[in-house]
Structure formats: structure tokens, C-alpha cells
Amino acid sequence: MGCRGGGLAVAAVLVLAGAARAQMTLPDLPKPTGAELFKQQCQTCHTLKPSDPPRQGPLLLGIFGRKPGSVPGFHYSAGFAKADFVWDDSHLDAMLTNPQALIPGAVMPYRQKDPATRQAIIAFLRDQT
Ligand code: HEC
């Protein structure tokens, strides 16, 4: 009895160890944060620091609540002057989905078809004030 019980206990430990190992080798990949996504997907063209040298796109600090095309000194394409809204969640979502559909002639070569990725970036931008 003692012997048989010991064998079962060893077997149980081995099964548990195997399960633990399987979990360790198959981790869930952590989702990138909005900050990381901004860095990967926007930062080559946009900065959040007024002191940075100009890039291909305008400064995005404080974008929420601002009128399109309102960064002083940035030369926007013509469609921006006709855009009659302020940047909010839904307009930023439309911009990141398809800039030219929102602002005809916009020269931003970026499209993001994944809604969760767009939302993570927009939530990050909301905090950059
Ligand atoms: C390859 C360069 C490039 C990338 C990448 C890019 N943009 Fe842009 N973006 C631009 C340019 C250029 C403009 C100005 C477009 C114009 O004048 O037609 C712009 C304009 C904008 C505007 C309008 C700003 C204003 O002042 O009205 C927003 C908002 C914006 N981009 C957000 C983003 C975000 C967020 C990302 C990343 C998910 C991104 N862009 C990625 C180049 C880029």
C-alpha cells in the first residue's frame, strides 16, 4: 500500500511538473500598449514633444479637442482647411482607418484595419496633453 501510494504520488508530481512546463513554454504574448504602438507606428512621422525637430507629420501633443490642421508652422495639405470638426475619439478612429476618406487628399500614408490597435493608440493620445 505504502509502495503503491508512493508511486502514484511520484506519477502525480511528474504530471504536474509536465503541466507547469507546458504552461511556461506557451506563454500568452503580451499585447503591446498604446505607448508601444505609437512608438512603432506613428513616431517616425509624429512627435509628442514641441522641442523635437519637425518630422513628416505634425506634433500630436494635445491633439484631443484641437481643430485639424492647427499646429503653427506645419504645412498641411489643402483638405485640412476644410475639415470642420475637432479631433475626438471617433474622428481619430476614422483618421487611422483611412485618412483620405476623412480628409480628402491627406498625405498620411498609414492605415490600421484592426479596431483594437486603433483604440489602444487613441487612448494613449488622449493622455498626451
Ligand atoms: C509615414 C508618415 C506618417 C505616419 C506613419 C503616421 N502619420 Fe499621421 N500624418 C502624417 C502627415 C504627413 C500628416 C499631415 C497630412 C497632410 O497635411 O495631408 C499627418 C497628420 C495626422 C493627424 C492630423 C493632425 C492635425 O494637426 O490635424 C493625425 C491626428 C495623425 N496624423 C495621427 C497619426 C497617428 C496616431 C499615427 C500612428 C498610428 C500616424 N498619424 C502615423 C504622416 C504620418
Q: Is the dihedral of CA 13, 15, 16, 18 positive or negative?
A: positive
Domain count, the chain: 2
Looking at the fold, whether 7 and 46 belong to one and the same domain comes out as no
What predicted TM-score, i.e. pTM, was given to this entire model?
A: 0.83
Looking at the fold, whether 4 and 38 belong to one and the same domain comes out as no
Grid coordinates belonging to 60: 500630436
Local confidence pLDDT in tens for the 129 residues of the chain: 444 555 556 555 545 555 555 556 667 788 999 999 999 999 999 999 999 998 999 999 999 999 999 999 999 999 999 999 999 999 999 999 999 999 999 999 999 999 999 999 999 999 999
Q: Is 35 in the pocket of ligand 1 (CB under 6 A)?
A: no
**Which residue's C-alpha comes closest to atom 40 of ligand 1?**
42
Q: Is 102 in the pocket of ligand 1 (CB under 6 A)?
A: no
Looking at the fold, whether 97 and 42 belong to one and the same domain comes out as yes
What's the CATH code of the domain at 90? 1.10.760.10
Domain that holds residue 121: 31-126
**Which residue's C-alpha comes closest to atom 27 of ligand 1?**
68
